[in-house]
Every structure is written in structure tokens, then in C-alpha cells.
Structure 1
């Protein structure tokens, strides 16, 4: 006779997950972890009870979503909220299979010994595993007006699509990305390496944070590229010795073999894996669908769909191309692909040394793009025409004309040889740009060449500043 999971077993599991009901504090393991800088932006959304909305926390695996939820619970307790008014449920736990959100909520109330739902805070972790979660959550928000619901999930784009489609006026989305280099410096308590300075950009003095030790900062930048996207791994030498085991198995494999197939009904997961591996090895390169099909062995008509799936899991980002005049192409034939987190490369292949210039160039470019990906209000482009290419281009929101250009180099040679920046200079001339930015290994100087003010900035400090400015604007 097949036994069913009993109600008492479900109640026991809920009590086990809600450690603070008995201790008035979250577990020490969570409390000892340093809070991400994004916490200060996320916390007010949870505390704001004036708006009757659920908060949807999205982001890839292992970036700290569950930890952030526990830090939020600790904050609520410290602000005087009764511990038994705070409920946490991990939806993906098999014991909750086939139990709807409202039924789970009622079980949780029973487990607390408090049947009153008024002024409760309810956290549902990894909600994407519940079919039609958005419909159930909307019903809860409408039915329990005095209860604050907070949910999390690892399939960012899929969650956002459903949130926008069904939760209009009921949900507030919050994306937690992999660590920025700025956060990496903060979480490692390395702020003493940075000092406020200025940078002449577009004819104006801009605040810019420089470093007092370029060599040490670059060592950490390379460590960030190899391991730094995931908070727990940067503090674990054991994980860094075998990133393939800890990152690939726990993050990549779960996403490719479980998350995406379950969300989208993908049947040939090995085919999806081949495509992702090809993109990962060639991060920062230009692709077209024909070439990707030939290289990965995946049929052309499936590649576009698979890329959308990989983007939904926040594993990759596709960047569109503009021509020498900054105009987008009506038909997208070529595009660039970047890992959303450069640390994925070390997980699938091998960590890179600071001297590995050939591969490091692509990973540095990927790392810098990763800092910009955290800005949901900005879409970067790259320019490519004939034999010319510029790594990153910013377009004006209104006119859609180029307003700035960036060339990403892991080298100091162009300070002495600006004449080799032919594509960048041609793009600036064509679009009447008086200045441009070029990254270096450790050189920060400015020079004028052929009517263009070229500002050279070290890659690490540039990445730090993009991350800091992003958080400041958020």
C-alpha cells in the first residue's frame, strides 16, 4: 500500500523551516553571512505595507536569494515583528508537492498556532516549481489584504514574464544579479584599496573611484572573474580548487538538466548543454545562427529558442549590433553572446591566470558587460561594420544616436599606440563623438588623438565604478 504524506508531516516540516519561531532569530549560518549591498534596496519593498503588492525576488541560482530572504526575516524580528508572524516555505521541497499556495499558507498558520493571518509576512522560496504560481499568488494578495507576500525564483525571465502578464498591479519585481565587482570588494572588506578621484569625461569632471594598489586590485579582479560571481565561493578555498564540482554541478547542471526542462518542456537536454558549452567557451565573440548551428551541432531552428531559454535562466546575454552610424539592423544576422557571470567559464573549463592574455581578453570583456547587465534601464550595443568593431556603444534613448563608445582592452599598449584604435576613432569621427573610453591593465591617462579625447582607465577600476554607479542609481 502506497502511503501519502500526512498533514502532520507537512506541519512538522514547516516548523523545521521556521527556526525563529522557537529562537527569535534566524540560524547563525545565515546571520554570520555578510549582507549584499542590494539588501538595502530590497528591504524597503518588504517593509512597505502601504502598497498591497507581493514582492517577486528573481535571480540566477546561488547568488544569495535565500540568504537575502533570511536577512530580511532577521530585520523584521529586530524591528519588533513577532517571529510567529513570519512564515518561510521552500516550495521546491518534495513534501509540498501538489499542495497549493493558499493551502500551504493555511497549514503555516496552523503550524504557528496562530490562525490570524493579519499582519503576517509570508515567504515562498523557489516558487517557479508551482504550476500557475502567478495565478495563486494573485489570489492570495487579493484575499489577504493585510498579509505581505514575498516570493523568490531562479528563472528570472520566465518569472518576470508571468509576473508582468498576471500580476499587473499586484506584484513588484526585484532582480538580484550575480555579485558585481563593487560588491566583491565590499564583501571582502577591501574598500581601503579604493579612493575617490575624478575623471574627465565628455568635457566634464566626473567622480571616479581609483585604486591605491593596482597590482592587488588586479589580482582580486582576476579572482572575481574566476570565482567572484557567487558569494559563498569567494570565501571557500576548497570550492575554488574544484569550481567544476561546486559551480557546474550545483548551478549549471541543475539549470540545464532540471530547471529549464521542467519550465519549458525541453526534451533534448544534451543538445541544450552543447549549445551552452559552445557559447561559454566563445563568450564575447560574435555569432550568427548558421555558425552556432555548425559549431554546436544544434539545429538552426532551435537555437533562437534555446538562447531565449538560457537568457531566462540568466546564464547568457545576447547583445545586438549597430553599424558605423549607430543604426540597428532590421534583420539580426550577427550578434554577440556573453556569459552573465564570467565565473561560469572557470566552472566549465579552467580558472584563468592573470598572464593568460588570449583568453583573459574575452573574460575581461565578459566581466565588464556583466556589470552593465545589472542596469534594467540600459541596453548596451556593440558596433560592427566591414572590418571595424567597437566593443560597447551607448545610444540616446530619444534619438537612438550614439552618445558614447568604449573599447575594452586587457593591455596597456594602446596608450603608446593610439593609432591602432582605428575602429574606435572612425566610429567617433562618424558620429561626432569628441571623447571615448579605452580600458587598460593598470594605466590611467588621457590624451588627444586625431581630434578625439581618449580616456584610458584600468579594467578593474572601471568595473568597480560601473557597479557602484548602478547601485547608487537604484
Structure 2
């Protein structure tokens, strides 16, 4: 039996024979995530890599393994990658501890085990705790899975103090451009300097593709006639394989109605009552559905910017998608404005900062604290009129310490000074999406 199991390991880990990860596996290098994983790889923590389905988690793991082997941090024969979704794996190894036990019995030296799609094992949290406690200092563990499954586990407390979470998202605009073989000059993190370096590339045409089809790696590289169908399949996978299965949803039709309502109304403010009325469901069930959909990383609900938590709770939420293709693949390209706003949100979210919206008589699309509040208004157009500034002006009036705001445009780049000395920087969307 042990010989059969080791043969399966050899089949799943070609570097045991060749000494390296197959060159076609790592894909586009995503330095942010690669460096984040590598930073903790020599510590004992179980690294938990999660993210929406198809965002590139496994590819990043291959990049990590490739780097570790090339830098000789681990002997290739001491690196084990196991896809827990593989039926053959689950037939040969009833428990995760069986996998570790067989691997531990061969060879010497520090070892690394990657358990991809770990949620396919029952009580994986408790099993991973046992792995950590048994093999700490001897075997390093990296686990991965869909966000909904890993984030909402009832038994995740078993791993408290033992894990280091990392969340992966679809391609940023910069990664999208690299995937399209577009070479960028060094990004300096200064709007004016970067504008001068990037303006000659005429990025608006390629930006339009990103607005419509987003950043899921396989969709970015797919032909135009396949992109929307792939996105619909991704959407259905999240609904059926994550949400329905994890939360044992019985009324799947109404769950789909809620998810599609959210995808259609990207950038809109809403209350639970409004959505419940729109889809013909009661408020409590609708609120639960929204929670499940958000935990699955399909959407994010943006809260109102206020110093009072109670005030935030009472106000409407604002809907953003993890990727714009969940809108365009279902409803087509109707208006670039909401898609531009959604792409601006996706970029801000990658900085792991808290994002809000604000509204009084006028609305500000986003407010970020870094540490001073910065209001950001998205006007994806070049004809900027005086009324387009009213949201930012109103925000400045209510928050007198705030001296700087941003307006994201289509092509306009200029600095606007208010009569009371505030600064509003007009920035093209393509430049904003490449800023740090």
C-alpha cells in the first residue's frame, strides 16, 4: 500500500523526477502574492491561501514552489503537492494525517506539504491542527481553498495562532497589461511623474477590455468569443459549489435572483428591504443570502463613512463586484461609468485599506483613510463640469481637516485648486489603476 501511495506522490509531483516545476505551470509572476507567501514560508505557521474560485491560487503556489527549489530552500524530493479534489488522493488517503505520515517516512531534512483545495476533507480544520501540532518544525504546511469555505468554517478556531492567511484576487490592471505582453516603464508612485512616463502608451483602448472582461487569469488569456461563457460558469461554480453546498441552501432560485440583482446593480446603494422586495423574498433570508454571497467574494458591501458605528449600520450599503465581468457577462456593456467605478474599487481594495462611500446632498464614490480621509470621485468622462465637483466640495465642507481629494476621469489630468486652498487631483482611470 505504501508503494502505491508513493507512486501517486510521484505522479502528482513531477519535480521528484526532474528537480524542477514544469515550465508551463507557474504562469505570470505575481510578485505581490509570491513575496507575501515567501515571507512566511520558513516560519511554522500554516499558510492559508484563499480567494474566489479561478483567481489563480494554485498558479501562485506553483510559483512559490518553483522559487523555493531554484533557490535551494527545499530539496525537490522534500516538496509534496497534493490536490485534495483528486478522487485518487481521497481514495488512497482517508485522512490528511495519512498523507503527512507517508511523506514523513521517506527521506530526510525539512519538508513542505501543500494541500490544495483542502476543504474536500471533512473536518480539515481539526486535521490541520493535528498536523501542525505533530510535525511543527519538521514539516511546513501550506493549504488553499475557496474563500467561502476557508473563511466561514465553524471550526476555524482550531487554527487560531497557528495560521497566516493570504487572500488572492484576480489580476490587477498592471498584471493584466503584463499578461497582454505590454511593457510598462517603472511605476514611481507619483501621479505627475507616472503620467509623463505612461501617456505615450495610449492605454485607453486596452483599458476598455479590462473594464468589460476583468482580470480572471484564464479569461484574460481566452479568445473574445469564450470570455463571457467562462465567466458565467465561474459565477455558477461559486453559487452551486460554494454557497449552496456550504450553507445548504434549499431555495436556489431566489439565491440566484439575489446574486444577479447585485451583479446588475453594481455601484448602487441598497437596503436589505429593497432587495427583498425586488426578488420576492423576506428580508431576513435576503440578508443571509447577501452575507453568503459576500463571504464567497463575489461582491463587497461598502459601508457609509461616519465616525459613529451606529450611523454606519443604519445607512444603506453600496454594491461592488470582485470583477466587472460578473456584470458584463450577464447584462452586456450598457454603461462604462459603473464599470469604471468598480475597477477603481477593485484597485483600492488590493491595498487592504478600509473603503467607504459618503453621501449628504451629494455623493462621494469612495472614502479611504490613509490615515487622513481621502475622498475619491469617479467621473469616467473628459467633459468635467462644475457640478461634477459638488460631491467633493460637500465632503470638504463636512470634514474641514481634509485638504485633498481625487477625481478619476477618462483622460483628464490636471490639478484643481478650490477657493479655500483644497486640492483635487484629476487622474485618468488608467493612471489611477497603475498607482500604488
**Structure 1 residue matching 2:367: 3-state secondary structure:** strand
**Does 1:362 find its partner at 2:338?**
yes
Deviation, structure 1 residue 326:
8.5
Q: Quick one: which of 58, 70, 73 aligns to 1:66?
A: 58
Residue 15 of structure 1 is matched in structure 2 by: 10
- Evaluate the alpha carbon distance shift between residue 320 and residue 91 of structure 1 in structure 2; reply closer, same or farther with a 3 A threshold: same
Per-residue deviation, residues 99-148 of structure 1 (Å, max 9, x unmatched)? 21101223445xxxx53575111000011222221211111111012110
1:210-359 map, 5 Å: 212-213=198-199, 216-237=202-223, 240-249=224-233, 251-322=234-305, 329=311, 331-350=313-332, 352=333, 359=335
**What stretches of structure 2 of length at least 5 have no aligned partner?**
none
Residue 82 of structure 2 is matched in structure 1 by: 89
Give the distance between the partners of 1:439 and 1:422, measured in 2 at CA: 14
**Structure 1 residue matching 2:249: 3-state secondary structure:** coil
Give the distance between the partners of 1:7 and 1:247, measured in 2 at CA: 41
Give the distance between the partners of 2:39 and 2:187, measured in 1 at CA: 32
Residue 437 of structure 1 is matched in structure 2 by: 406
- Evaluate the alpha carbon distance shift between residue 9 and residue 343 of structure 1 in structure 2; reply closer, same or farther with a 3 A threshold: farther
Deviation, structure 1 residue 27:
2.5
Deviation, structure 1 residue 388:
1.8
1:318–1:337 Cα contact (<8 Å) kept: yes
**Structure 2 residue matching 1:220: 3-state secondary structure:** helix
1:115-194 map, 5 Å: 115-116=106-107, 118-145=109-136, 146-155=138-147, 158-159=150-151, 165-192=157-184
1:197–1:209 Cα contact (<8 Å) kept: no
**What stretches of structure 1 of length at least 5 have no aligned partner?**
1-5, 201-206, 470-474
Q: CA RMSD in A?
A: 2.7
Give the distance between the partners of 1:194 and 1:375, measured in 2 at CA: 19
Residue 351 of structure 2 is matched in structure 1 by: 375
2:303–2:312 Cα contact (<8 Å) kept: no
Q: Quick one: which of 422, 426, 441 aligns to 2:394?
A: 426
2:211–2:336 Cα contact (<8 Å) kept: no
Per-residue deviation, residues 20-60 of structure 1 (Å, max 9, x unmatched)? 112222223214x2211224423423541xx3211111111
- Evaluate the alpha carbon distance shift between residue 192 and residue 370 of structure 1 in structure 2; reply closer, same or farther with a 3 A threshold: closer
Give the distance between the partners of 2:320 and 2:305, measured in 1 at CA: 17
- Evaluate the alpha carbon distance shift between residue 10 and residue 284 of structure 1 in structure 2; reply closer, same or farther with a 3 A threshold: farther
1:340–1:373 Cα contact (<8 Å) kept: no
2:379–2:388 Cα contact (<8 Å) kept: no
> TM-score if structure 1 supplies the norm length?
0.83
Give the distance between the partners of 2:305 and 2:187, measured in 1 at CA: 36
- Evaluate the alpha carbon distance shift between residue 163 and residue 226 of structure 1 in structure 2; reply closer, same or farther with a 3 A threshold: farther
Q: Quick one: which of 392, 416, 430 aligns to 1:447?
A: 416
